[in-house]
Structure 1
Amino acid sequence: MDDYHASPSPNPHSQDLRKGRFSEPGRAYHITTTTWRRQRIFGALQPARTLIQSLMLSDRLQRSQTLAFVVMPDHLHWLFVLRDGALKDVVGAAKSVAAHRIGGRIWQPGYHDHALRQEEDLRTIARYIVANPKRAGLVERIGDYPHWDAAWL
């Protein structure tokens, strides 16, 4: 067995991602989270749409205000303004809802977050996020990829 599969977690340092994390309502965050062992779960239509529904549920519950997202086959980029609660709880709830509805273990523990500074341009970051499928070679035009939105742009 190789070292990757011998580890109980595919990312043994995922707990380090949580050190120093701070939640600030009203601040925009860019979250990246990956599937368990980088499985291409969201390459299929139904799981991708289910994940998007979990992001929209977070908005409806007024925990977040989604600015942009892209669901890639093996990870999620989500740009949102934290409205209520702790960042870990908002992200954890969105991941949990999706996992429950899809079934099985779908997420690696933890996530990467970037709290945007005031001088950072939200539109530039949103454009970067939604261009991920083009950069990954999944589509030639961003508009051809079905699992993204940045309606506020």
Structure 2
Amino acid sequence: MPRPAQPPHSQDLRKGRVSEPGRIYHVRTSTASRRRFFSDLYLGREVVRALRFQHATGNVESLAFVVMPDHLHWLIQLGDGMALDALMHAVKGFSAQRVNKCLRRSGPVWQAGYFDRAIRADEDVPAIARYIVANPLRAGLCAHIGDYPLWDAVWV
């Protein structure tokens, strides 16, 4: 089967990318064609399961996340055992496999690339986490963050 075309300049996301153990990153990735797979709570929970697995194995310390209908925001502190690109490959691969199985389909679930931003030591990490988990409020998906089921943060 031919590989789906990558969005223009998706390879640019990898230029200059560095994986530093112990560094905090804000990672964002979108679904293929911005499909709203995770409007289905069960499918969104499969992504949460993949994130929690990486935390449980010590590959990352998961500080905050929100799974939106068509994308994911994740604030992590990278562990020693896995580079950022391998981590994202594992999370996206596992969750895509589960989503496709549940929907009895094949094909891409996630876009090929992802965006990451290394957090500087002087930045307010809890404020970044609040920004991440407030995404459903800003998108009008809920009136109170406690009403949205697909998020978590270590500060709550």
TM-score (ref. length: structure 1): 0.92
1:119 corresponds, among 114, 119, 122, to 122
> How many angstroms apart in 1 are the aligned matches of 2:77 and 2:87?
11
1:64 corresponds, among 60, 65, 83, to 60
Q: Which residue of 2 aligns with 1:80?
A: 76
Q: Which residue of 2 aligns with 1:4?
A: none
Q: Which residue of 2 aligns with 1:37?
A: 33
Structure 1 letter corresponding to 2:114: Y
Task: List gaps (5 residues or longer) in structure 1.
Answer: 1-6
Q: Which residue of 2 aligns with 1:133?
A: 136
Q: Which residue of 1 aligns with 2:45?
A: 49
Structure 2 letter corresponding to 1:94: V
Whether contact under 8 Å (2:66, 2:133) holds in the other structure is yes
- 3-state SS of the aligned residue for 1:57? helix
Deviation of 1:44 after TM superposition, in Å, equals 0.2
The C-alpha deviation readout for 1:125-145, integer Å capped at 9, x for no partner, is: 000000000001111111111
> How many angstroms apart in 1 are the aligned matches of 2:78 and 2:18?
11
Structure 2 letter corresponding to 1:100: Q
The runs of at least 4 consecutive aligned structure 1 residues that moved more than 6 Å come to none
> How many angstroms apart in 1 are the aligned matches of 2:5 and 2:77?
33
Q: Which residue of 2 aligns with 1:19?
A: 15
Deviation of 1:24 after TM superposition, in Å, equals 0.3
> How many angstroms apart in 1 are the aligned matches of 2:22 and 2:5?
36
- 3-state SS of the aligned residue for 1:95? helix
- For the pair 1:148 / 2:151, whether they are aligned, the reply is yes
Deviation of 1:152 after TM superposition, in Å, equals 3.3
- 3-state SS of the aligned residue for 1:137? coil
Matches within 5 A, 1:87-126: 87-103=84-100, 104=106, 105-126=108-129
Whether contact under 8 Å (2:126, 2:155) holds in the other structure is no
- 3-state SS of the aligned residue for 1:53? helix
TM-score (ref. length: structure 2): 0.90
The C-alpha deviation readout for 1:14-33, integer Å capped at 9, x for no partner, is: 11100000000000100000
